[in-house]
Amino acid sequence: MDQDSHCLAEKELLETVSSITPFSTTSPSNEEQNQPKAEISHQARRENPEKDELQDASASLSPNSSMTTKELQEYWRNEKRQCRQVKLLFEIPSTRIVEHHLSKYVMYKIIILQTGSFDSNKSVIERRYSDFEKLHRNLLEEFSEEMEDVTFPKKTLTGNFTEEIINERKLAFKDYLRLLYSMKYIRRSKKFIDFLTRPELQEAYGCLRGGQYTKALEILLEVIGLQERLTRGNPVSIVPTLCAIVVCHKDLENPASAFEYGEKALSRLHVHTSHRYYIPLLETMITLAYELGKDFLSLQEKLEEWKTKKDPIRVFTLKELAVREYVQ
């Protein structure tokens, strides 16, 4: 982060701390006093989407907190580090023309980079015009107001494969993705995340069902990093992918790696014990822990505790759940 950006972030932080400090004497305007609180809150969120996580976290502080101003500032610095949104950049450096039987189309190579990171954090995917078109149509259905001023490259009757048209669309699609990502409600939507991850996940699960665990694992490990950056506000959503990685490592006889990813999945389910993956994952982790000579008694206790609270139901194994994902 450069010095100007750092100063701006610091200023926003101090303003936020000031707004929650009990010594504040600022009074709302008459218009604000007459406006319903829920409406004010919603309006503030729409105008300042990047501060949502920081403001929401303030609810966890006791209203009778005895923290000094300096301690509050340090507290919020730590909170902001943890809640800071991961910013992604989209680049479309190249394309390729695909001819398949009677069809011909252009594939756009999309590189997704995390700002301020090394190239090891980049993700590379390919999408065609019809994929972008489907995304745009789906987003219009759900976010008609947000998409009101978003333009989309129109189809042309001729010249779709000329260098000029392809270069124009490369720039247009880059700007299109950048604009969509800049809108909080869209970048968090399932439709946007599916556009960036679903084709690769479908391929990976197809390999898994076919017993091609090495190929499936290779794809899943590529996707999981992007999923994590896209779904930081919803960590449970990547549990199926983490569990698929566990299944692949386990079948490839890599118990240590399987256990590592199993722990990541369990950490996301500690308050979601009714999740369909929770018990199958616990059972797999007990097996792996026993095999690796690790403590499995605590895991066993969690399993027994769950069984005493829930009615006996048929539970699939972790692998059975994994092969059912993305079945058309």
Give all strands of the β-sheet with 123-128 in edge-to-edge order.
Answer: 88-100, 103-114, 123-128
User: Across the chain, where does the E strand assignment appear?
Assistant: 88-100, 103-114, 123-128
Q: 10 Å Cβ neighbour count for 242?
A: 24
Residue 94, classed as helix, strand or coil, is strand
Q: Round to whole Å and give the CA distance between 218 and 230.
A: 19
Domain locations in the chain as residue ranges: 87-188, 197-324
Q: Which numeric CATH code is attached to 197-324?
A: 1.25.40.10
Q: Which two tokens stand for residue 313?
A: 């139901």
Full-model pTM: 0.73
Contacts of 134 (CB under 8 A, 6+ apart): 195
Residue 151: partners with Cβ closer than 8 Å, 6 or more residues away: 176
Task: Name every residue whose Cβ is closer than 8 Å to that of residue 231 and which is 6 or more positions away in sequence.
Answer: 188, 193, 237, 238
How is domain 87-188 classified at the CATH fold level?
PX Domain (3.30.1520)
Q: What is the pLDDT along the chain (328 residues), one digit of tens a residue?
A: 444 444 444 444 445 434 443 333 334 444 444 444 444 344 444 444 444 444 444 444 444 445 567 666 665 555 454 445 568 999 999 999 999 888 899 999 999 998 876 656 789 999 999 999 999 999 999 999 999 999 998 888 777 889 999 999 999 999 999 999 999 999 999 999 999 999 999 999 999 999 999 999 999 999 999 999 999 889 999 999 999 999 999 999 999 999 999 999 999 998 899 999 999 999 999 999 999 999 999 999 999 988 888 766 677 999 999 999 998 6
d(CA 127, CA 197): 11
* CA–CA dist 196, 219 (Å, integer): 13
